[in-house]
Amino acid sequence: MSSHSESATKGTILVVDDVPDNLRVLSALLTHEGYTVRKVLNGKLALKAVQAAPPDLVLLDIRMADMDGYEVCQQLKVMPHMREIPIIFLSALNGVFDKVKAFQVGGADYIAKPFHVEEVLARVEHQLTIQTLQRQLYQYSLDLEAQVATRTAQLQLAFDFEATLKRITDRVRDSLDETQILQVAVQELAIAVDVRSCNAALYDLEQHSATVQYEYAASLTPIQGRVLNMNNFTEGYHQLLHGQYFQFCSLLPNSHRGRVVMLACPIVDDQRVLGDLWLVNPSEYAFTEQDIRLVQQVANQCAIALRQARLYQTLQTQVTELEQLNHLKDDFLSTVSHELRTPMANIKMALHMLEISLKAADPSPATATSIVPEVPQPEDVEKKPKPRSSNVDRYLKILQDECQREIDLITDLLDLNRLDGDIEPLILTAVALEPWVQSLTKPFVDRAHSQQQRLQFDIAPDLPPLFTEQSYLERILAELLNNACKYTPTGESIVVAASVVAAEEAETPKAIDTLHISVTNTGVEIPLSEQSRIFDKFYRIPKHDPWQQGGTGLGLALVKKLTERLGASLTVESIKGKTTFTVQIPLSSSTVPELQDIDRQSSTSTTIN
């Protein structure tokens, strides 16, 4: 508050007393101690002196003619800039009431007259020390508030930065379209940094060109779609191609943009530079470190998003090509199967006719009726044909088996192709399960007996009729039984089971009653690593065919397709030397479209026994 430097004096003191002798004594005393002293004779002059140049301390007499010290103190304490000045009262009044009133009106201390020099100096120094400490504390408070405000502003800036970056990152990474990625990045950057223009370009390094994919221009002429030749600005693109950003101010006005300041930042992934981001503002503007950091982070996110988009496009192209190849493969298999079916049927017919001809030309000795052989005459020996070799029968059997195998393969391929097309409507009938299972499995009973296998049945009583496509269900069970007979070793068992699992026993929500038809064979186990592949076309588990009967490799794939066509599911469980295939058929008309009107048709459906 003092107009004098505190380094030259210990402080400025205003002495107020209407007795000149008191003023001289106090002035001499305080000046001798290094204080700057100002003197006034009454209260009105004291108020003017304080307003003109506020002192560090006031020594104020109470008894004065025109205005006493109490009133002077009260007026000083209502002045905003004067109320902090400490006031020490000097008075001959030594009563308790006078001292209390002095403190009530705002006095800091009280010295009774006649005063002692040591007391005056001690009390003055004490109040000035308090004043100095209060000023320091106030300054510290101001400094602390400034630091808090600065730190708060920094934290807010960091929060805004992170929020802006997250918003841009989320929008950029949500898209797999290159144009959309760059458009979002440019728009968000232009708004966040508040620039006149922002654009993004992609590089063609072979052509040494940069094509502006998108530009946000608030007041400048847009250059979206323009192809820029890198050779026209080699210094700048040299830095960008090396992954370095830069900003500059044009010395000469641009014909389209005038004099502007520009910030350029490369879009770089871990392999190469993909493009760049440019921000444009008036020439008097300078991009801050925060602006540059935000642009760099957005450029990094753009690089990641662009790489993902390009990988996605590559994968989509590969998927499309694979789908086309798969269609070509299916078309090829369908065509080949159709073309092979007729010649294979002819071959089978020819083999059958050959077998009949061989039997007619060489009757079996077992059919001869004569017990005593006739003695052949010489002419009869010459006319009798030679007996048929046993190799001929074996070769004929091989031809027949292989012919049938190829016919089965062709039939399976055609069935799979038809199921893939999903063009054949279901013909629904009601099937009585217990007699149907017994009838279908009769051929497998003899086959299992001949291979010393045990074929058993576990059919629950009172199974409800099943409305389904009977031919599909027969094919499913026949294929599963054929596999079981093929892969079950001698002495092991095959079990065909059927039961209904009630809805309340199921683990899934909104469950319905389900019919479970399963085929279990013992003595064989499918490795866990193979279980996910057994339904693939042409896949066979290596070294799992004890009877060496072979197959087309399409049986389980066909079963899977047929099951799905019926709106059912197929599961496999193979543990502890036992393998179980289970077909789960929901007992609801909602699973198959053709069953939606089954309730109206059930009265006319035929039960198949």
CATH 3.40.720.10 assigned to 425-608 = no
Q: Is 387 exposed, middle or buried (0-12, 13-18, 19+ CB in 10 A)?
A: exposed
Calculate the average pLDDT of the chain: 80
Tell me the C-alpha distance between 433 and 609, whole Å: 8
Residue 541: both structure tokens together: 């588990």
Cβ atoms of 43 and 72 within 8 Å: the answer is: yes
Measure the N-to-C terminal CA separation of the chain; round to a whole number of Å: 116
Residue 564: both structure tokens together: 């799905």
What pLDDT, on a 0 to 100 scale, did the predictor assign at position 510? Answer: 55
What pLDDT, on a 0 to 100 scale, did the predictor assign at position 10? Answer: 81
Q: Which CATH class is domain 173-310?
A: alpha beta
What pLDDT, on a 0 to 100 scale, did the predictor assign at position 387? Answer: 56
Residue 223: both structure tokens together: 């250059």
Tell me if 12-140 shares its fold with 173-310: no
What pLDDT, on a 0 to 100 scale, did the predictor assign at position 524? Answer: 84
Choose the weakest-confidence range: 48-57, 553-562, 594-603: 594-603
Tell me the C-alpha distance between 526 and 571, whole Å: 13
pLDDT in tens, 21-76: 888 999 999 999 999 999 999 989 999 999 999 999 999 998 888 889 899 999 99
The neighbouring-strand residues paired with 459 are: 498
Residue 23: both structure tokens together: 């003023």
Tell me the C-alpha distance between 513 and 14, whole Å: 105
What pLDDT, on a 0 to 100 scale, did the predictor assign at position 80? Answer: 84
What pLDDT, on a 0 to 100 scale, did the predictor assign at position 336? Answer: 65
Cβ atoms of 58 and 76 within 8 Å: the answer is: yes
Residue 262: both structure tokens together: 């520009």
The neighbouring-strand residues paired with 405 are: none
Q: Is residue 371 predicted with pLDDT exceeding 60?
A: no
Q: Where are the domains of the chain?
A: 12-140, 173-310, 425-608
Spell 552-587 as b/e; 16+ CB within 10 A means b.
bebbbbbbbbbbebbbbebeeebeeebbbbbbbbbb
Handedness of CA 240, 246, 247, 249 (dihedral sign): negative
Hey, how many other C-beta atoms are within 10 angstroms of the C-beta on 341? 16
Q: Is residue 148 predicted with pLDDT exceeding 90?
A: yes
CATH 3.40.50.2300 assigned to 12-140 = yes
Rg (CA), the chain: 53
The neighbouring-strand residues paired with 39 are: 15
Residue 531: both structure tokens together: 């279980």
pLDDT: is 202 or 408 the higher one? 202
Cβ atoms of 277 and 190 within 8 Å: the answer is: no
Task: Give the chain's count of helices (H) and strands (E).
Answer: 16, 19
Percentage of residues of the chain with pLDDT beyond 70 = 79
Looking up tokens 């296998």 gives 453
Residue 253: both structure tokens together: 């006005």
Q: Is residue 592 predicted with pLDDT exceeding 60?
A: no
How large is the average pLDDT for residues 429-449? Answer: 86
Choose the weakest-confidence range: 61-75, 129-143, 323-337, 585-599: 585-599
pLDDT: is 556 or 330 the higher one? 556
